[in-house]
Amino acid sequence: MTRIDDTFADLAREGRKAFVAYVMAGHPEYEQSLEIVKGLPGAGVDIIELGLPFTDPMADGPTIQLAGQQALEAGMTLEKTLGLASAFRETDQKTPIVLMGYYNPIYSRGVERFLREANEAGIDGLIIVDLPPEEDAELCLPAQAAGLNFIRLATPTTDDKRLPRVLQNTSGFVYYVSITGITGSAEAEATDVGPEVARIREQGGLPVVVGFGVNTPEKSRAIAEVADGVVVGSAIVSRITAGDSTESVLSFVRTLTDAAHSV
C-alpha cells in the first residue's frame, strides 16, 4: 500500500472524490513553488501532481509549456525537483506526490539512481507520458518493484482492444485524459466522460481520475460526479504565471476542491 492507495481508501470510506492539483516544480521560481506546494493540502488537495520541467513537453499546451520553460530558466532540474519534494516531506508525510513528466531526464540520470532518489524524496507515483506499455521494462516495472505506483493515461482513443494493455501494469489510479489534444486546449464534458470512466473502471478495478479541460469550480463538480477524482493543472498554473500571490492561487484552488468534494 502506498500513500496513493491509502488516500483513495480513506476517500472511499468518507464517500468523497479525490482532487488532484498539478503544479510545475520550480515555477515561477523555487521558493514560491515550494510555498505553493506546501499550501496545497491546506487548500483541500488530496494528491499533488508535481510537473518535472522538460525542454520538449509533447503532451502539454502553451500554459504548461511556458511554466516549464520559466522553471528551467530559473535553474530548475530533476535534482532540484526531488529536493522540493524532500522539503515538502519535512512537514507533510501524508499527502501523496505524483511526479509527472517525460522519460529523458530520468534516463539521463539512470533509472536505478532515479528510483532510489525518488523514494528518498517521498515520491509516491510516476506519470511518464512518453513511455507506452510496450516499454514497461524500461521504467514501469522497476518503479513498481521499488514501491512506486506507475500511473497510466487512457484517452478517448483508447479502445477496448488497447485498454487491457494500458491497464496491465497500472497501479494507484488511472488518469483519463478527457479530450483529444494537449493540456488546456478544450473543456471536459461530463456527459462524454462518464461512460468512459465506467468502462475503464470496469476493466481495471482502479480509481479513475479525469484531467485536461477542467478549469472552473463548476467543471470540477461536474466531473467529480462521474469520476473518482478530478485533476486541474493549466487553470492553476496560469494564475501562477500571471503573478498571482501564493494566497490568491491557494484561494482559487480551494474553490476547485470544495466543488469536487461537494459531490
Which residues, at least 6 apart from 163, have a Cβ–Cβ distance to it below 8 Å?
Answer: 154, 199, 200, 203, 204
Residue 150 grid coordinates: 506507475
**Cβ neighbours of 13 (radius 10 Å):** 8
Instruction: Report the amino acid identity of residue 152.
Output: R
Judge whether 192 counts as a catalytic residue.
Answer: no
Neighbours of 74 (CB within 10 A): 17
From 5, 46, 60, 117, active-site residue: 60
Locate cell 473518482: which residue? 228
Residues β-bridged to residue 135? none
What burial letters (b/e) apply to 211-226, b meaning 16+ CB within 10 Å?
Answer: bbbbbebebbbbbbeb
Range 247-253 contact pairs with CB under 8 angstroms and sequence separation of 24 or more: 249/36, 250/36, 250/39, 250/40, 250/42, 250/43, 251/43, 253/21, 253/40, 253/43, 253/44, 253/45
Report the run of H or E that residue 67 belongs to, with start and end.
helix 62-73
- Known active-site residue 60: yes
Residue pair 4/47 in contact by the 8 Å Cβ criterion: yes
Selected catalytic residue, list 6, 14, 31, 49: 49
- Provide the annotated active-site residues: 49, 60
